[in-house]
Amino acid sequence: MIDGKWKLPIICTLGDQTMRFNELKREIVGITSMMLTSSLKELEECGIVHRESYHEVPPKVEYSLTDGGLSLTPILFDLGHWGHKLNTTKEKVNE
């Protein structure tokens, strides 16, 4: 569901903010327009990301997490903690 290399970085970067396309692109180092576009589209289809498009010139599109997406972040936070703890434990063993 959140597969692909960039979904997690996007969700974490977005957090509780509302960001525009190029803001995200600048924040997420190494991502290309293509990857960002396709990842955002999939996240939107999953109901994780909300997309607000203003039909203006120049175009303006804002992305934010839906409630569903927001409810994922604490779990991701736990997961991050778990990964960190696991690594420090491993380092201790290696010493």
Partner DNA sequence: CAGTATCCGGACAGATACTG
Partner DNA sequence: CAGTATCTGTCCGGATACTG
The footprint of DNA (CB under 7 A) covers: 3-6, 20-23, 30-35, 37-38, 40-41, 53, 58-61
Identify the residue among 46, 50, 51, 62 touching its own copies (CB under 8 A). 46
Beta strand extents in 29-68 (DSSP E only): 49-54, 60-65
Least distance from DNA to the Cβ atom of residue 92, Å = 27
| DSSP SS3 for 91 | helix
Identify the residue among 47, 52, 53, 60 touching its own copies (CB under 8 A). 47
Phi-psi region of 47 (alpha: psi -120 to 50; beta: other; left: phi over 0): left
Phi, psi for 55 (deg, rounded to 5): -85, 85
Which does residue 15 touch among DNA, its own copies, none (CB within 5 to 8 A, set by kind)? none
